[in-house]
Chains A and B, each alone.
Chain A
């Protein structure tokens, strides 16, 4: 019988060193704590750097454990107070606590914050709760128990059956049943098989995989080990974006630690199971998230998708049976094995089980990572958990599923988020990107944004994607400039449909989704652009003009001073004027006008 050792619990200061918090200054906060401890000769309290808490809008985040007191937007200046009043004095620093924007109340405990209360954190169970660079922390929180269980008590077939019974589906976007995928690789003949973790997260705005890798890398490794045991692989690859340096670093540490502890290598935990993990850093091509392109890239070839069949389970990496799963999918595995498929299957809807992480960005009050049961409505995620629209503006639409997803208006807010329901609307769960828009967002401009991305990231292999996305983008560009017409609007839809059905891989097949859903739900706005040359959101710069209200302008000259183009003229104390031929619509004048005398004429 093999056993995982567990360390004693102790008091700790948890500082988030996920990418979001690092950007907002958590490294400085960490140094401040260290200095403060040195000054006050405190040695018994550990400073632990954790991964992402998901509440990125509130970074840098500091949590005092074991009570779980949550301090948001901590600066280095606040540190001495936390040390003095909380750690030494034993009193929570009230004014530094999180304030619920709806009730105005201060909340001290992590678990009582609305943002977390409404979530169901399975994948993100350890993110923010453990030090991702310490394997003991993972083990202490129940890590590697699932591996121990499968090696001691389960046959590979039983593992596959368990994953099948859980109803887990691929979280990378396509939603293919994970257990079924494993069974294909398991049944495929061959002595050499591979397990690949697809950590090439590339959707703009999506960062759930990054946060899992940075915050809980061992859960992904454990998932890979269990997958390898199930399909009969002894070698695994993690294909991770090189643009995620912190994830790369933490994965490398995790692999090293796992080797030292005997979770990787020969005869793992005394069993006959051998497994090793190699890392491959991707060079920044979005298309390498497509499994056949990913494998080509590992093999040293240009990352281009190929036709399937053969599927990776039959002929994958180096022509051997290969099982590829996404980070979030793998991070679910240990939980399923430990807690049982039934418990997992009890969460979610009939066909979409478990939870899904969404990366909510855009015009919401509390953006960040939200893990909710499948079937939760969009309304609950956006208005309840994320606190609604910023500045209490009106909700306009949500782009769900990243550049491959669709754009849904208000009437779909009560749509449950699951694979089938979203597909019916024209959107997809995808990797779980959620961009929320208010009235000040222009859908045509957003369509242009996403298509600029997919167009650039097309591998160039098939014609519809390579040239089709380019021509669609050019049409959108003309629309945002007022150079298009109704005929082109019809052509745009035709081309979008052709690109969707004729492209070789998922990138091209889904690239038209934003346009198609926007054309369906926001046809009027497209028509305004092409017929009237009008952008109601006031975003498309070629369709708007900055105008100075004569009766409000005091002639202070601030706008004139700031205008980078010298487009503003006027005598002191006399109303000023903007020369539209010189104006580049940067909006700097409006930002600086102390009298709100400048407005956008749409």
Chain B
């Protein structure tokens, strides 16, 4: 299909058909603020901070949900838009628990960033504020509705990606709230504690308990790695402070998983620095497991394999490999079994 030509803030831009204004702007380094948008989810258009001016349109349009059209002239940075964004953020802050000093999300909170960008020092809007109970009944996820901006991202990620529908909206108007069916705690629902809701929450309404008070986002070093759990090979981003993982997240723009993880990938990292973790090979000597060097351990295994093969033949040996290994490692394992040991007795847990 032919390209689409449009202008954003007067700049001529070429785009693919079907792209949204937001996507095109991002590709071209033009920032449009968002709160309810997550590239993993369907466009929702609820927060209204991404409103832009499109020449000839009757109203301001949400950049996240408006497809580009040929000849479109878009403006993202006019004074009326600035005023509306300011009003929206002030409205959100007028019913928000401003505990940024100790909030786990400080530094990675989209609401905080937007308030900063718009230079909101004082709020023009005052009035009733909600006081909700914080949900704290499970070991992993803390839910604080006082910091929720009702962007619906948790509701939608649970429905659209996890297909689990743990969250829902309840009540109407100002008293609308994100909750679970019948207001149950997460462990009483079908929640699998995957933490996807945390991954998409733009504020501190959903946070990880294991990371609590362990470090600020700006203090951590981010290391990309591959999840050690299964063969999917999800990319993870470890947040490390003082040599210790304090949080695991994923980048929505890279890896096979595009920001998505399961409960194990996100929360199953306590083994890394666990005192019971094996850090060197063990060989049983006189009935006791003794720490040895890798050379010695490999030599021991090689000797035993040779003895077994000599006495009982190569088919007395079988290899079973793990989905936790990479493709390359699995390839090496079968090659080793066939070429070195000389058997076809190989299998893999993913086949079970």
Task: Name A's B-contacting residues (CB within 8 A).
Answer: 285, 287, 302, 304, 306-307, 455-464, 466-471, 474, 491, 494-495, 498, 501-504, 509
Contact of B48 among A304, A455, A464, A471 (CB under 8 A): A464
Pairs across A and B, CB under 8 Å, 14 listed: A307-B44, A307-B45, A455-B174, A456-B172, A460-B171, A461-B176, A463-B49, A463-B150, A467-B91, A470-B173, A471-B126, A474-B126, A502-B51, A504-B46
Hey, which chain B residues are within 8 Å of A463, CB to CB? Answer: 46-49, 88, 91-92, 149-150
* Interface stretch (choices B58-66, B131-139, B273-281, B289-297): B58-66
Contact of A307 among B62, B128, B168 (CB under 8 A): B62
Asked, given contacts A468-B91, A503-B48, A504-B45, whether A460 binds B150 with beta carbons under 8 Å apart, the answer is yes
The answer to the question of B208 belonging to the interface, with a C-beta cut-off of 8 Å to chain A, is no
Whether A467 pairs with B95 at a CB distance below 8 angstroms is yes
Whether B87 pairs with A502 at a CB distance below 8 angstroms is yes
Hey, which chain A residues are within 8 Å of B169, CB to CB? Answer: 302, 304, 460
Q: For residue B51, which residue of chain A has the nearest CB?
A: A502
Task: Name B's A-contacting residues (CB within 8 A).
Answer: 43-49, 51, 59-60, 62, 65, 80, 83-84, 87-88, 91-92, 94-95, 124-128, 149-150, 152, 168-169, 171-176
Whether A460 pairs with B87 at a CB distance below 8 angstroms is no
Hey, which chain B residues are within 8 Å of A468, CB to CB? Answer: 87, 91
Q: For residue B92, which residue of chain A has the nearest CB?
A: A463
Whether B88 pairs with A502 at a CB distance below 8 angstroms is yes
Q: For residue B48, which residue of chain A has the nearest CB?
A: A502
Whether A502 pairs with B60 at a CB distance below 8 angstroms is yes
Hey, which chain B residues are within 8 Å of A307, CB to CB? Answer: 43-45, 62, 65
Whether B172 pairs with A459 at a CB distance below 8 angstroms is yes
Q: For residue A509, which residue of chain B has the nearest CB?
A: B59
3 tightest Cβ-Cβ pairs between the two chains A and B: A460-B176, A470-B174, A467-B91
Least CB distance, B2 to chain A, in whole angstroms = 21
Hey, which chain A residues are within 8 Å of B47, CB to CB? Answer: 462-463
Most chain A beta-carbon neighbours within 10 Å: one of B47, B125, B171, B173 = B173
Hey, which chain B residues are within 8 Å of A503, CB to CB? Answer: 48
Hey, which chain B residues are within 8 Å of A464, CB to CB? Answer: 48, 87-88, 91
Hey, which chain B residues are within 8 Å of A456, CB to CB? Answer: 172-173
Hey, which chain A residues are within 8 Å of B124, CB to CB? Answer: 491
Whether A467 pairs with B51 at a CB distance below 8 angstroms is no
Q: For residue B89, which residue of chain A has the nearest CB?
A: A463
Hey, which chain B residues are within 8 Å of A467, CB to CB? Answer: 91-92, 94-95, 125, 174
Hey, which chain B residues are within 8 Å of A495, CB to CB? Answer: 87, 125
Q: For residue B45, which residue of chain A has the nearest CB?
A: A307
Contact of A285 among B43, B51, B150, B172 (CB under 8 A): B172
Least CB distance, A325 to chain B, in whole angstroms = 22
Hey, which chain B residues are within 8 Å of A494, CB to CB? Answer: 87
Considering the chains assembled together, what is the distance between the CA atoms of A466 and B169 in angstroms? 13
Most chain A beta-carbon neighbours within 10 Å: one of B45, B51, B174 = B174
Hey, which chain A residues are within 8 Å of B174, CB to CB? Answer: 455, 458, 460, 466-467, 469-470
Asked, given contacts A464-B88, A498-B87, whether A471 binds B125 with beta carbons under 8 Å apart, the answer is yes
Whether A471 pairs with B94 at a CB distance below 8 angstroms is yes
Q: For residue A303, which residue of chain B has the nearest CB?
A: B172
Whether A470 pairs with B88 at a CB distance below 8 angstroms is no
**Could you tell me the dominant secondary structure of chain B's interface residues?**
loop
Whether A466 pairs with B150 at a CB distance below 8 angstroms is yes
Least CB distance, A494 to chain B, in whole angstroms = 8
Considering the chains assembled together, what is the distance between the CA atoms of A563 and B22 in angstroms? 63
Least CB distance, B97 to chain A, in whole angstroms = 14
Most chain A beta-carbon neighbours within 10 Å: one of B48, B126, B176 = B48
Whether A470 pairs with B127 at a CB distance below 8 angstroms is yes
Whether B173 pairs with A455 at a CB distance below 8 angstroms is yes
Least CB distance, B180 to chain A, in whole angstroms = 14
Considering the chains assembled together, what is the distance between the CA atoms of A234 and B87 in angstroms? 47
Least CB distance, B162 to chain A, in whole angstroms = 18
Whether A502 pairs with B84 at a CB distance below 8 angstroms is yes
Hey, which chain B residues are within 8 Å of A304, CB to CB? Answer: 169
Hey, which chain A residues are within 8 Å of B95, CB to CB? Answer: 467
Considering the chains assembled together, what is the distance between the CA atoms of A51 and B326 in angstroms? 76
17 more A-B residue pairs beyond the given contacts A467-B95, A471-B91, A471-B94, with a C-beta to C-beta distance below 8 A: A306-B45, A307-B43, A307-B44, A456-B172, A460-B169, A460-B173, A460-B176, A462-B48, A463-B47, A463-B91, A464-B91, A469-B174, A470-B174, A498-B83, A501-B59, A501-B80, A502-B84
Whether A501 pairs with B60 at a CB distance below 8 angstroms is yes
Whether B43 pairs with A302 at a CB distance below 8 angstroms is no
Considering the chains assembled together, what is the distance between the CA atoms of A494 and B83 in angstroms? 10
Least CB distance, A460 to chain B, in whole angstroms = 3
Whether A462 pairs with B87 at a CB distance below 8 angstroms is no
Considering the chains assembled together, what is the distance between the CA atoms of A462 and B174 in angstroms? 11
Least CB distance, A430 to chain B, in whole angstroms = 18
Q: For residue A491, which residue of chain B has the nearest CB?
A: B124
Considering the chains assembled together, what is the distance between the CA atoms of A469 and B91 in angstroms? 10
Considering the chains assembled together, what is the distance between the CA atoms of A503 and B48 in angstroms? 7
Least CB distance, A480 to chain B, in whole angstroms = 15
Most chain B beta-carbon neighbours within 10 Å: one of A459, A464, A467 = A467
Least CB distance, A84 to chain B, in whole angstroms = 55
Hey, which chain B residues are within 8 Å of A504, CB to CB? Answer: 45-46, 48
Hey, which chain B residues are within 8 Å of A460, CB to CB? Answer: 150, 169, 171-176
Hey, which chain B residues are within 8 Å of A285, CB to CB? Answer: 172
Least CB distance, A524 to chain B, in whole angstroms = 24
Q: For residue A460, which residue of chain B has the nearest CB?
A: B176
Hey, which chain A residues are within 8 Å of B45, CB to CB? Answer: 306-307, 462, 504
Least CB distance, A242 to chain B, in whole angstroms = 16
Whether B92 pairs with A457 at a CB distance below 8 angstroms is no
Considering the chains assembled together, what is the distance between the CA atoms of A229 and B14 in angstroms? 44
Whether B46 pairs with A462 at a CB distance below 8 angstroms is yes
Hey, which chain A residues are within 8 Å of B87, CB to CB? Answer: 464, 468, 494-495, 498, 502
Hey, which chain B residues are within 8 Å of A461, CB to CB? Answer: 46, 150, 152, 176
Least CB distance, B128 to chain A, in whole angstroms = 7
Considering the chains assembled together, what is the distance between the CA atoms of A471 and B128 in angstroms? 8
Least CB distance, A313 to chain B, in whole angstroms = 17
Hey, which chain A residues are within 8 Å of B128, CB to CB? Answer: 470, 474
Least CB distance, B243 to chain A, in whole angstroms = 42
Most chain A beta-carbon neighbours within 10 Å: one of B51, B59, B91 = B91
Whether B88 pairs with A458 at a CB distance below 8 angstroms is no
Considering the chains assembled together, what is the distance between the CA atoms of A104 and B91 in angstroms? 57
Considering the chains assembled together, what is the distance between the CA atoms of A459 and B48 in angstroms? 15
Q: For residue B67, which residue of chain A has the nearest CB?
A: A309
Considering the chains assembled together, what is the distance between the CA atoms of A462 and B151 in angstroms? 8
Considering the chains assembled together, what is the distance between the CA atoms of A287 and B171 in angstroms? 13
Least CB distance, A461 to chain B, in whole angstroms = 5
Least CB distance, B163 to chain A, in whole angstroms = 15
Hey, which chain A residues are within 8 Å of B149, CB to CB? Answer: 463
Considering the chains assembled together, what is the distance between the CA atoms of A54 and B172 in angstroms? 33
Considering the chains assembled together, what is the distance between the CA atoms of A498 and B90 in angstroms? 12
Asked, given contacts A471-B94, A498-B84, A501-B60, whether A466 binds B48 with beta carbons under 8 Å apart, the answer is no
Q: For residue B35, which residue of chain A has the nearest CB?
A: A463
Q: For residue B44, which residue of chain A has the nearest CB?
A: A307
Considering the chains assembled together, what is the distance between the CA atoms of A468 and B95 in angstroms? 11
Whether B88 pairs with A302 at a CB distance below 8 angstroms is no
Contact of B173 among A302, A466, A474, A502 (CB under 8 A): A466
Q: For residue B49, which residue of chain A has the nearest CB?
A: A463
Considering the chains assembled together, what is the distance between the CA atoms of A469 and B176 in angstroms? 13
Most chain A beta-carbon neighbours within 10 Å: one of B59, B88, B95 = B88
Considering the chains assembled together, what is the distance between the CA atoms of A302 and B152 in angstroms? 13
Q: For residue A465, which residue of chain B has the nearest CB?
A: B173
Hey, which chain A residues are within 8 Å of B48, CB to CB? Answer: 462-464, 502-504
Hey, which chain A residues are within 8 Å of B60, CB to CB? Answer: 501-502
Asked, given contacts A463-B48, A502-B48, whether A469 binds B173 with beta carbons under 8 Å apart, the answer is yes
